[in-house]
Every structure is written in C-alpha cells, then in structure tokens.
Amino acid sequence: MASVSKQPNGGRVVQFVGSDRKRRSVRLGRVSSKMADSIRTRIELLDACNRTGQVPAPELLEWLAKLDDRFHGRLAAVGLVAHRAKKIKQAIGPFLDGYLKSRIDVGHATMTVWGQVVRNLKQHFGTDRDLATINAGEADAFRLFLVGQNLSSTTVARRLQFARQFFTAAQRAELCRINPFTDVRAKAISDPSRQVFVERETIARVLDCCDPTWRLLVTLSRYAGLRSPSETCSLRWADINWQANMMIVQSPKTAHHEGRGSRAVPIFSAIREELQAAFHRAPEGSVYVLESLRSRAMARGEWVNANLRTQFERIIRRAGVQVWPRLFHQLRSSCETELVRQFPVHIVAAWMGHTPRIAISHYLQITGADFAAAAAGRSAVDSTSGAGSDAEIVQSAVRPAAATLGQQPPRARFALENSEDWPPLASAGRYCTGVPVDRAGIEPATPGFSVLGYA
C-alpha cells in the first residue's frame, strides 16, 4: 500500500497511490526506520479510510490532532486529511483595540485603566506582533518591563492581571493556543509610606481655604468617607433624608455588584452643617448636591477625568499644608479609621461601601492617637472628639427603622444584616427617585422613606 524509502540526504519518504490514482509522497525528514514505518502504517490507515469513507479510529484521530501544522499540512497536501483551518495572523494592536471597543459593558474608569495596559502591551510587543507567537518567557519579560517603568507593585500586579484577561479573550477567540500570562504574576505589596492619616486639625486648615463647593466636597470625603469624585458628584438632594439623618450614596464603583449600587450613610454631625448650608445655597430645582463639580466631571452622560486633584493640591498648598499622597483616598481612609473607634468594623465597612476585609487591608490605619490613648490607659474610642454626638446620630437614624420593623433592637438588626461582608444596609436603589426636591423647607418631607430600606 504505502512504502518507505530513503533519500540521498538521509531523509525518508512515504509513498502511496492516492484515491485519485496519483502517486503521492510524504516526506518525513531524517527519522529512524522504525518511526518511518509507524508513520507509514498510519498513512495506510488514513488512505483506507479515505477510500472506504470510514471514520479513522480514535487513536488515529488523536495522533492527527497532535501533529504540528507543518506535517499535518503535508498530509493534507496529498489528500489524506482535510486542511486545518487556516490560522489567521492576529496582530496584538488591532486585537486589543477591538477588544476594548467590544466591551461596552464596562465603565469609563475601567476603560481608562485597561487603556493603560493596552498602551504598555503595544509599547513592549509592537502593535503588529502576532499575538499567537508570544510565549510565557516574553510575558515574563513584559512583567519586568512594567517593573522598569517604576510602577508600584500593586499597579504591576493589576496590569498583569488585565494582560492575562486580554489574552484569555484571545485564547477563547482561538487566536492563540496558550495564554502566556497564565503564570506571570506579581505580588502586590502595599506601600505603607503612602498611608497617611489626615488629622482633623489639618483638614480644618484646608477647609478654611476652600470655597463653599470645595468645603462640601472635602467635608463629605473626610467626614462621611465618600469616594471622590464618583460618589460625591453623584449625591442628589433627593438622596438626603434630613429627618432620619441618613443619605443614600450612589456608588458607581460597586454598582456592577448585585445590590451594591448605593448604600445608606449616616449624616454625621461633622457634615450636617455643611450639607444644610449647601442646601440653602442651592438654586431652585437643583438635583445634584455638587452640581458645579459634576458638570465638570461629566460629559455626554459619561464620567471623564474631572482632575479634582490639581485644584485640591492648590488649595492644600494655599493652606500651608504639605500635599499628601492619594489625596481623596486618604481622606476616606482617615474617616474610616476614626469611625471604627466608635462602631464595629462591619457596620463602618457597610457605610463605606466595602467589606471588612477591604477595610482592614487597605483603609484602617494606626495613628498617633492610638498610642497616646493606650499609654494613657484609655480606649481609642474615648480619644475621638465628638464621638458621642455621632453615635447619637446613628442611634437616631436607626430608631425609626426599628420602629418600622417592630422587631429586633437596632443593634441586633445591624448585626444581622451585616454579619458577614455585605448584605446591603439598605438596598437603596428602590427609593432613589432622582426627582428634584422642593426647596421650600430645609427639611423636605420624604414620605415613605424607610431608613433601612425595609418598607
């Protein structure tokens, strides 16, 4: 049926007559006679299947599947098997651009971050590079490239994670066989030097240099722990329940998680006055609390980089205060650090809109006040000024809810709802209407508003 012969150059060739009666040769290169013979047997089997229309045995199919493209191509050339689907060369640049474009499901900020990784990948590999040819070693080299950019370890880790995600997408599209980034990981080590506790005295000096709008923004960041600009700029007057001392904070960052598009946050004593003053100032029909900043942070209904940082740094310098790293984040972090001195971490984490685990690993700080209090034999709670009043506000906020429920005392209810990670304190989406509030009274009535969201 088929024969093996040796060529002058030492290579072997299997010859047979195909079903079209033409003599065909399959070159094997320099292989042992034993190997050549086993291939000859398989070629005979394939030829027989071709003629009789039978499906090759599983073992034979497996052998075929494992062949490299080159040799498989030779078998296909002589009509023994069908040609493999032609591999489309996919350049990395166009693929990544297309991938980003296709992901209409992610937010603007996510797209910005992904764009940075795409930029890095294009820089390192070149836009025309066939992504199927990138191996794990080169993915390792990309990691070192990122390290060389003087990025923090968390950034490197995160960007590698995104690179892995992009290549998984390519793999699923069958544009590459393996994901070269599967095992390329970097340990994210948080940099404690970027953790700063912004003292109340410090922020007071900064507030003195703020215009009213900025006063409110900074106050909401430092004393209610809102994310800026996403949450501060999303806050509406309709979200504020003056009587219940509670506001519903819209949270774009976590909106993609079930039930975490918004949360209830107490109107702490430290923010109430600022909020009320802003309410007085607000023009008739205002919807958003920080309308003017919002218009700068939004364009065509999408978030854009508001770059609050530049202006904030100017204000801080004007106040004669040294600029601290991660401006708004550290205000939020300082707020949470203070709050856990008064309330259990699971409650505070719920107000902050994250889990206790995130609070502990990224937010809670050790401050000089803790050392001072410990040395003086007091608990950290005692050392926080104004603790009593905030605790009262929280109690007053919780009481009506408990009354509505007519069930457990408020504390028990909180513990129940927030025992592990998140069940949301308030599944607040249901009463966030976005309807402009009538500005007639300073404490607008909000009928049907239940604090915990349990009507």
Contact indicator for 397, 266 with CB cutoff of 8 Å: yes
**Are 220 and 271 in contact, with CB atoms under 8 Å apart?**
yes
Q: Which is nearer to DNA, 72 or 236 (CB)?
A: 72
Return the number of the residue (30 or 256) whose C-beta is nearest DNA: 30
Number of residues that bind DNA (CB under 7 A): 25
Contact between 319 and 206 (Cβ < 8 Å):
yes
> Does residue 322 bind DNA (CB under 7 A)?
no
Span 57-76, contacts to DNA by CB under 7 A? 70, 74
> Residue 52 Cβ, how far from DNA at the closest point, in Å?
14
Among 20, 23, 34, 101, binds DNA (CB under 7 A): 23
Q: How far is CA 57 from each of CA 54, 61, 230, 423, rounded to the nearest angstrom?
A: 9, 6, 61, 55
Q: Is 26 in the site for DNA (CB under 7 A)?
A: yes
Q: What are phi and psi of 130, to 5 degrees?
A: -70, 120
Q: Which is nearer to DNA, 27 or 411 (CB)?
A: 27
Q: How distant, in Å, are the alpha carbons of 220, 259, 368 from that of 242?
A: 15, 24, 34
Evaluate whether 330 touches 196 at the Cβ level (below 8 Å).
yes
8 sits near DNA (criterion: CB under 7 A) = yes
Are the C-beta atoms of residues 356 and 349 closer than 8 Å to each other? yes
Q: How far is CA 314 from the centre of its chain?
A: 30
Which of 27, 84, 357, 430 lies at the binding interface for DNA (CB under 7 A)?
27
Quick check: 42 and 48 in contact, CB under 8 A? Answer: no
Shortest distance, position 68 Cβ to DNA, whole Å? 11
Q: Among residues 5 and 433, whose Cβ is nearest to DNA?
A: 5
By CB under 7 A, tell whether 45 contacts DNA.
no
Q: Does 46 bind DNA (CB under 7 A)?
A: no
314 in contact with DNA (CB under 7 A): no
**Smallest distance, DNA to C-beta of residue 62, A:** 23
Query: How far is CA 393 from its chain centroid?
Result: 33
Q: Which of residues 140-199 bind DNA (CB under 7 A)?
A: none
Whether the CA torsion 140, 146, 147, 148 is positive or negative: it is positive
In this structure, are residues 414 and 426 in contact, taking their beta carbons and an 8 Å threshold?
no
Nearer to DNA, 23 or 101 (CB): 23
User: Residues with Cβ < 8 Å from 36, sequence gap 6 or more?
Assistant: 4, 12, 14, 28
Please say which residue, 13 or 432, places its beta carbon nearer to DNA: 13
Comparison of 54 and 379: residue with beta carbon closer to DNA: 54
Look at the block and give the residue holding tokens 């949470």: 336
Of 7-15, 180-188, 190-198, 364-372, the segment contacting DNA by CB under 7 A is 7-15
Chain contacts with DNA (rule: CB under 7 A): 1-9, 11, 13, 15-17, 21, 23-27, 29, 70, 74, 77-78
